[in-house]
Amino acid sequence: MPTGVAMRDARRQLFDAAERILLRDGPTALTSRAVTTEAGCAKGVLHRHFADFDAFLAELVLDRIARLEGQSAALRAAAGTGTVVDNLADALTELFESVAVAIVGLIVFRDDLRSRLRAAGATGVPLLAEATAMIASYLTAERARGRLATDADVDTLAPTLIGAAHLLFADRESGPPDAGAVRKVVRTVVGGAVR
C-alpha cells in the first residue's frame, strides 16, 4: 500500500491477515513481515498501532477471546431447544473450525505471548479456558431445564468436551473431522448425563 494512503480499520485488517496466515501456514509462519504483506500494507503500519509484534499477537488473541462472548450467548439461548448433543457438536465445530486451534498453537509456540496474556489476566490456556466456560455455562442452563441429570458434573464435562474436540480438530494434515465424528465424541462424553 502506498505511503500516505489511509487504511480503514487497520487493526482489523492486520488481525484478519494474521488469522489467514495461521489457518493456511500455522504459527511458525506468523511474522510481522508476513502479516503486513498479507494485509497489503507497509510494515510500519503494524508498529504504528502496536508497541511490538508480541503486543500485536496478544491483542489478536484477546480479540479472538472477545468474539467468544457472542457465540456463548447464542449457545446459552439454544438451551432447551434442539438436542443437547447437536447443540454442543455445532458449538464445538464452530469454535474449532475457526482460527481457534491455530491460536492455541500460537500461544503454546510463543513464551512471550503467554507472559503478556497472563499479565492481561488470562488464566489456563487462553481461548480454551474461555471456551470451557462457554460450554459449562450452556451445560448449566440445560441442567436447570432438566435436560441434563441434576448430578451432572458440568465442571468435568466442559473441559472434557473442549479437550476431546480440540484433539479432533488439531490434525492439520487430515482436515477437520466430519460432523458424525464430532457428534460421536459429544455423545460419548455427555450421553450418561443427558435426559
Query: Mind listing the pLDDT tens digit for each residue in 29-61?
Result: 999 999 999 999 998 999 999 999 999 999 999
Provide the CB-side half-sphere exposure for 74 (13 A, CA): 12
Closest by CA to 88, choosing from 160, 28, 138, 125, is 138
Contacts of 170-177 spanning 24+ positions with Cβ under 8 A: 170/101, 170/105, 172/26, 172/101, 176/93, 176/96, 176/97
C-alpha cell at position 107: 500461544
C-alpha cell at position 118: 497472563
Looking at residue 5, what is its pLDDT?
A: 42
Spatial separation of the C-alpha atoms in residues 118 and 148, rounded to whole Å = 34
Interacting residues of 72 by C-beta distance below 8 A, sequence separation 6+: 133, 134, 137, 138
Helix residue ranges per DSSP H, 28-153:
32-39, 43-49, 53-77, 84-97, 100-109, 111-119, 128-144
Looking at residue 35, what is its pLDDT?
A: 97
Cβ atoms of 17 and 35 within 8 Å: the answer is yes
Domains of the chain: 1-49 (1.10.10.60), 65-190 (no CATH)
pLDDT band at 172 (very low <50, low <70, confident <90, very high): low
Strand partners, 148: 194
Looking at residue 101, what is its pLDDT?
A: 86
Q: Lowest-confidence range among 1-5, 42-46, 91-95, 169-173?
A: 1-5
Q: Lowest-confidence range among 46-60, 76-90, 147-161?
A: 46-60
- The vertex-36 CA angle with 128 and 99, nearest 5°, equals 20
pLDDT at position 81 over 90: yes
